């Protein structure tokens, strides 16, 4: 297991990821997770992921956002169709190599009865930003018996992951998470009003200067949310409870980096294990069909 440094991760090879420090109490998993679990650039083939302390010029890391189990209001249902009887095992995808079984299976992020495809992410993760267009593609390609969900992480406080986790859960509670999704990524990586990087892009801001929940509220205000209400909800007992559950699910799923995809609380994979971003979409579709067929 590579030692992770608590600083911004960036790609050294084709694929990289932001990873939390190794925790021997991490969620149970029948097959050990790879050293890092996140992709950074849409490369067709995986390379050894490396977590490095340094500048953000080549930053490409990822993490993800949590959805409360009781709602799932932002989970996107697929519009395609599926035929369980037509499912055929594909030797291209090998359990223990390309994807990993979560044993025992864990609760879903939402309360859906459909097959749940969850992206574990963070807005502040460069890899998640790079993967974002394909996540949208994945969500719209799911069959009608599957649904997309999102689980935000908090394991890199120096890159402001906890704030973005809380902001996502708050936006979800207020019904604006889905429509503001692209705007939050843009506020971090384009306009940089919510960036964790210094103005010269030569490293991270001091933690005391990182964007706050009040700063995030100003972006969500563009979608009709009162900033004062947003901050009040963000600091409520309900959101504190959802933050706790999100962190518990991340651990239970055995997630070590972002972006990671979890299928129905049973399978976990990332960019390096799948072989790239496009392959993550393909593998997710394969595992959805496998679940639908009861294999």
Distance between CA atoms of residues 213 and 70, nearest Å:
24
For 245-276, write each residue's pLDDT tens digit.
Answer: 999 999 999 998 999 999 999 999 999 999 99
Tens digits of per-residue pLDDT, 91-146?
999 999 999 999 999 999 999 999 999 999 999 999 999 999 999 999 999 999 99
The CB density around residue 227, as the number of other CB atoms within 10 Å, is 16
Kindly give the residue spans of alpha helices, DSSP state H, lying in the chain.
Answer: 126-141, 161-173, 177-189, 213-220, 227-234, 237-252, 271-274, 277-292
Query: What pLDDT score was predicted for residue 50?
Result: 28
Q: Which residues contact 214 (CB under 8 A, 6 or more apart)?
A: 227, 231
- Confidence (pLDDT) at 295: 83
Q: Rounded to an integer, what distance in angstroms lies between the CA atom of residue 250 and that of residue 37? A: 12
pTM of the predicted model as reported, rounded to 2 decimal places: 0.77
How far is CA 190 from each of CA 2, 81, 186, 193, 194, rounded to the nearest angstrom? 31, 36, 5, 8, 9
What is the pLDDT, as a whole number, of residue 96? 97
Given a contact cutoff of 8 angstroms between Cβ atoms, the answer to whether 81 and 288 are in contact is no
22 pLDDT more than 50: no
Mean pLDDT across the chain, nearest whole number? 81
d(CA 73, CA 71): 5
pLDDT tens digits, 60-93: 333 333 334 333 444 455 555 444 557 889 999 9
Contacts of 82 (CB under 8 A, 6+ apart): 143, 144, 145, 146, 288, 289, 292
pLDDT 10s digits, 156-208:
999 999 999 999 999 999 999 999 999 999 999 999 999 999 999 899 999 99
Please tell me the number of Cα atoms within 13 Å of 193 on its side-chain side.
Answer: 13
Judging by DSSP bridges, how do beta strands 146-152 and 257-258 pair with one another? unpaired
Question: Residue 13 — very low, low, confident or very high, per pLDDT cuts 50/70/90?
Answer: very low
Do the Cβ atoms of 102 and 253 come closer than 8 Å? yes
Confidence of residue 20 (pLDDT cuts 50, 70, 90): low
What is the model's pLDDT at position 87?
A: 84
Neighbours of 183 (CB within 10 A): 17
């Amino acid at each position: 297991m590579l030692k992770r440094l608590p600083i911004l991760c960036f790609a050294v090879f084709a694929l990289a990821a932001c990873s939390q420090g190794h925790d021997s109490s991490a969620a149970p998993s029948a097959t050990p997770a790879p050293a890092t679990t996140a992709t950074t650039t849409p490369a067709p083939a995986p390379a050894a992921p490396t977590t490095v302390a340094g500048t953000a010029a080549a930053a490409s890391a990822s993490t993800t956002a949590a959805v409360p189990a009781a709602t799932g209001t932002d989970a996107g249902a697929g519009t395609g169709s599926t035929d369980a009887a037509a499912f055929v095992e594909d030797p291209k995808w090998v359990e223990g190599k390309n994807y990993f079984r979560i044993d025992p299976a864990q609760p879903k992020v939402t309360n859906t009865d459909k097959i749940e495809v969850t992206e574990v992410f963070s807005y502040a993760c460069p890899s998640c930003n790079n993967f974002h267009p394909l996540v949208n593609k994945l969500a719209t390609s799911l069959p009608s018996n599957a649904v997309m969900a999102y689980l935000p992480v908090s394991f890199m406080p120096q890159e402001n992951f906890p704030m973005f986790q809380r902001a996502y859960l708050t936006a979800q509670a207020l019904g604006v998470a889905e429509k503001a999704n692209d705007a939050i990524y843009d506020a971090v990586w384009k306009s940089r009003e919510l960036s964790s990087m210094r103005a010269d892009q030569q490293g991270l801001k001091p933690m005391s200067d990182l964007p706050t929940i009040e700063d995030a509220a100003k972006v969500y205000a563009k979608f009709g949310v009162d900033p004062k209400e947003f901050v009040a909800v963000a600091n409520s007992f309900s959101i504190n409870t959802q933050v706790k559950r999100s962190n518990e699910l991340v651990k239970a799923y055995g997630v070590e980096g972002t972006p990671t995809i979890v299928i129905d609380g049973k399978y976990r994979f990332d960019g390096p294990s799948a072989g790239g971003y496009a392959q993550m979409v393909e593998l997710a579709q394969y595992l959805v069909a496998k679940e639908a067929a009861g294999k």
